[in-house]
């Protein structure tokens, strides 16, 4: 951290800031500019609240130097983390494709889709049993019954299962069925939940919040990692901006930024990122071209009858096309 003193700060003010830095166990390094004095804080100052210093007399502002995350950072862990989910490797050379309905609606629906996405080339099956919905009047998911149907679909197809968990007390239950625990965008800063999945030591798909910075996404990953679980995948699923022609704005820049800063695998979700099925395939291609390790896509045989997210769901034949196109892009960047 660097503390910038105000233009005209007195020597006494500078001394007092230095004392405070030292009283917290750090060393202070003075640098006299023409208009401003600046004080470098030497040591790992991540745990300190910057705001504290901004209130000392004569201080103009404090500037952080260290990134606030550690375990999620490549500084601490230079090599790529590779997850192994029932034999599916995520984060290695292969592009991993996860697909399935927004919500599990019935036994026949999930089995039909599971077979269809497997045949088209998916490596994992997604589907929601607990659904976070903006309206209390909307369909909220089948709950444990949905989990059991997902498990049945896994038996039938061999595809590992990704499904969302929405509250700490359900973590054990969901873990008993699912191969990957999904943390949804709305729960990115639900710290009780992050704590619970951290302790679950089970693979996690962590979705970026619609208004989370990249740094906040990595800090939420840090919560999970710091509770002992290092099987975390990061998922870019679009952020909220002023643009309204699409449901969200896919932050494609986040893909190379995350790959550079972190060792964790990065997945792109073009279904939520765009909100309209017509744009899902081009944005899936883009995500892989930008360096993502996988893609998660909503598929439904009859989107116009889907209980939720129909507008952004691909029919199985469109999904098969997506798989073929994504594979060609993967080859063009020497992946598979």
| Structural tokens at position 42 | 């030497």
d(CA 18, CA 96): 52
Tokens linked to 290: 């930008």
Residues 6 or more apart whose CB falls under 8 angstroms from that of 78 comprise: 263
Closest approach, Cβ 155 to a copy of itself, in A, equals 29
The CB-of-179 to a copy of itself minimum distance in angstroms stands at 22
Choice between 159 and 326, CB closer to a copy of itself: 326
> Which of residues 118 and 131 has its CB atom nearest to a copy of itself in the complex?
131
* 230 vs 213: CA distance, rounded Å: 21
**Token digits for 285?**
């291609």
Query: Toward a copy of itself, which CB reaches closer, 52 or 176?
Result: 52
Nearer to a copy of itself, 158 or 201 (CB): 201
Smallest distance from the beta carbon of 201 to a copy of itself, in angstroms?
16
Render the burial of 15-28: b for 16+ CB within 10 Å, e for the rest: eebbebbeeeebeb
Q: Which helix (H) or strand (E) holds 144?
A: helix 144-157
Q: How far is the CB of 120 from a copy of itself (least distance, A)?
A: 19
Smaller CB distance to a copy of itself: residue 157 or 298? 298
Which of 85/284 has CB closer to a copy of itself? 284
How far apart, in Å, are the Cα atoms of 291 and each of 95, 112, 133, 268? 10, 31, 31, 10
Other beta carbons less than 10 A from residue 73's beta carbon: 19
Query: 299 - beta bridge partners?
Result: 314
């Amino acid at each position: 951290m660097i503390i910038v003193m105000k233009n005209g700060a007195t020597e006494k003010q500078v001394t007092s800031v230095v004392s405070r830095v030292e009283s917290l166990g750090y060393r202070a390094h003075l640098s006299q500019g023409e208009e401003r004095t600046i004080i470098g804080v030497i040591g790992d100052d991540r745990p300190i609240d910057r705001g504290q210093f901004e209130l000392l007399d004569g201080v103009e502002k404090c500037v952080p130097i260290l990134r606030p995350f550690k375990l999620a950072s490549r500084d601490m862990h230079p090599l790529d983390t590779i997850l192994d989910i029932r034999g599916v490797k995520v984060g290695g050379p292969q592009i991993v494709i996860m697909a399935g309905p927004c919500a599990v609606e019935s036994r026949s629906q999930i089995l039909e889709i599971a077979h269809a996405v497997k045949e088209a080339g998916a490596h994992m099956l997604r589907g929601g049993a607990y659904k976070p919905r903006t309206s209390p009047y909307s369909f909220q998911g089948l709950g444990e019954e949905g989990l059991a149907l997902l498990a049945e679909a896994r038996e039938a197809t061999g595809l590992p299962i990704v499904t969302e968990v929405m509250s700490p007390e359900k973590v054990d239950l969901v873990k008993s069925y699912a191969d990957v625990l999904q943390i949804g965008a709305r729960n990115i800063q639900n710290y009780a939940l992050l704590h619970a999945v951290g302790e679950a030591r089970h693979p996690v798909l962590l979705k970026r919040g619609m208004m989370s910075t990249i740094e906040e996404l990595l800090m939420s990953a840090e919560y999970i990692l710091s509770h002992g679980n290092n099987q975390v995948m990061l998922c870019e699923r679009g952020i909220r901006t002023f643009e309204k022609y699409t449901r969200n704005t896919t932050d494609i820049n986040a893909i190379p930024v995350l790959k550079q800063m972190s060792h964790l695998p990065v997945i792109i979700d073009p279904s939520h990122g765009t909100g309209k099925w017509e744009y899902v395939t081009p944005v899936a291609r883009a995500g892989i071209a930008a360096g993502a390790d996988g893609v998660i896509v909503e598929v439904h045989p009859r989107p116009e009858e889907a209980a939720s997210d129909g507008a952004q769901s691909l029919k199985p034949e469109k999904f098969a096309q997506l798989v073929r196109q994504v594979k060609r892009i993967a080859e063009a960047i020497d992946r598979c």
